[in-house]
Amino acid sequence: SQKIEQNSEALNIQEGKTATLTCNYTNYSPAYLQWYRQDPGRGPVFLLLIRENEKEKRKERLKVTFDTTLKQSLFHITASQPADSATYLCALRDAGNMLTFGGGTRLMVKP
Amino acid sequence: EPEVTQTPSHQVTQMGQEVILRCVPISNHLYFYWYRQILGQKVEFLVSFYNNEISEKSEIFDDQFSVERPDGSNFTLKIRSTKLEDSAMYFCASRGGLETLYFGPGTRLLVL
């Protein structure tokens, strides 16, 4: 069956450090992968989309990599700030063409 | 910036009652979605809607659920006879020609 796996344990880091979150998937052959941010009690907010032919994509302090051989995407936030504290979700379109989300990883950035 | 809106923000209902959750997608978007998130769990796909019909639905979206676009702006999710396990946040989303989904703020449904 298709699975999207993200570390369910919270990631705690110090302000100013780089946060790295992982998304692994099985039984998908995605043309692209998306990352969203979700704050408590709010809807997901789109951050970045990376296509299968792109190794890396950047947006301000965010960087996403996509390794279709390893079936993995890494999401980096450089110079992290307490305001970056949230849950980060990766999402893939599955065989039924539905956008499916991973369980998310909660990031806590301490001042 | 255009945004997806949802009403009500909170809904409390008795088991067995019908509820209608309302959404106003972004005006020039063509694809509409409902997702739900049970407290502490992942965001789960329910249904997608395009060209006035359901294009995809998940196993969760059984006969108790229905969607409708009654006019040019609203998109509704109806749960005919609510169950305790329907308690969740329900998110509406829409998208235009690109792959990005724009989510609304959600409706928190509590079934007692």
Task: Tell me how far apart the alpha carbons of residues A55 and B27 are, in angstroms, rounded to a whole number.
Answer: 34
Q: Which of B102, B93, B88, B107 is nearest to B41 (CA)?
A: B88
B56, A49: Cβ pair inside 8 Å? Answer: no
Q: In sequence order, which residues have a C-beta less than 8 Å from that of residue A18 and are 6 or more positions away?
A: A76, A77, A78, A79, A80
B58–chain A Cβ distance below 8 A for any pair: yes
Q: What is the overall mean pLDDT for chain B?
A: 95
Q: What is the mean pLDDT of residues A85-98?
A: 88
Comparing B2 with B60, the larger pLDDT belongs to: B60
Task: Indicate if the pLDDT at residue A31 is higher than 90.
Answer: no
**CB neighbour list of residue B20: distance below 8 Å, 6 or more residues apart:** B76, B77, B78
The nearest CA of chain A is from the CA of B80 a distance in Å of 24
Residues of A with CB under 8 A from a CB of B: 32, 34, 38, 41-46, 49, 89, 93, 96-104
Q: Over 90: is that where the pLDDT of A61 sits?
A: yes
Q: What is the mean pLDDT of residues B54-69?
A: 95
pLDDT at A1: 78
Residues of B in Cβ contact (< 8 Å) with A100: 45
CA separation for the pair A95, A1 (Å, rounded)? 10
Q: Which of B43, B104, B105 sits opposite A89 (nearest CB)?
A: B43
B6-46 residue pLDDT tens:
999 999 999 999 999 999 999 989 999 999 999 999 999 99
Q: Is B104 in contact with A101 (Cβ distance < 8 A)?
A: no
What pLDDT score does B78 carry? Answer: 98
